Amino acid sequence: MALWGGRFEKDMDQIVKEFNASIGFDQRMYNEDIDGSIAHVTMLAAQGIVTEEESRQIIDGLEKIREKIRSGEIVFTVEDEDIHMGIESRLIEEIGEVGKKLHTARSRNDQCQVDGRLYLKEQIRTIVAELIELEEVILRKAEQYAEAITVGFTHIQHAQPITVGFVFMAYFQMFRRDIERLTDTYERMDLCPLGACALAGTTFPTDRARTAELLGFRAPTENAMDSVSDRDYAIEFLSDASISMTHISRWAEEFAWWNTSEFSYIAIDDSFCTGSSIMPQKKNPDMAELLRGKSGRVYGDLMQMLTVLKGTPLAYNKDFQEDKEGLFDAVDTWKACIRIFAKMLDKTEFRMDQIEKQLSKGFLNATDVAEHLAMEGIPFREAHNIVGHMVKACEERGCQLEELDEESLQAIDPRLSREALGDISIPACVSARKSFGGTAPDEVRRQIRVGKNWLETLKD
CA torsion, points 417, 420, 421, 427, in degrees to nearest 10?
Answer: 140
* Catalytic residue list: 155, 276
Mention every residue, 6+ apart, whose C-beta is less than 8 A from residue 303.
Answer: none
Give all strands (DSSP E) within 176-257, no chain letters. Answer: 191-192, 219-220
Question: Would you tell me how many other CB atoms lie within 10 Å of the CB of residue 284?
Answer: 15
> In whole angstroms, what is the distance from residue 65 CA to residue 67 CA?
5
- The DSSP annotation for 381-415 comes to HHHHHHHHHHHHHHHHHT--GGG--HHHHHHH-TT
Nearest to 362 by CA among 186, 157, 217, 190: 157
> In whole angstroms, what is the distance from residue 104 CA to residue 49 CA?
8
Do 232 and 305 form a contact (C-beta atoms < 8 A)?
no
Give the distance, in angstroms, between the CA of residue 384 and the centroid of all CA atoms in the same chain.
41
Pairing mode of beta strands 219-220, 191-192: parallel
Nearest to 252 by CA among 295, 298, 299, 297: 295
- The DSSP annotation for 284-331 comes to B-HHHHHHHHHHHHHHHHHHHHHHHHTTPPSS--GGGGGGSHHHHHHH
Pairing mode of beta strands 157-163, 149-154: antiparallel
Name beta bridge partners: 160.
Answer: 152
Do 337 and 248 form a contact (C-beta atoms < 8 A)?
yes
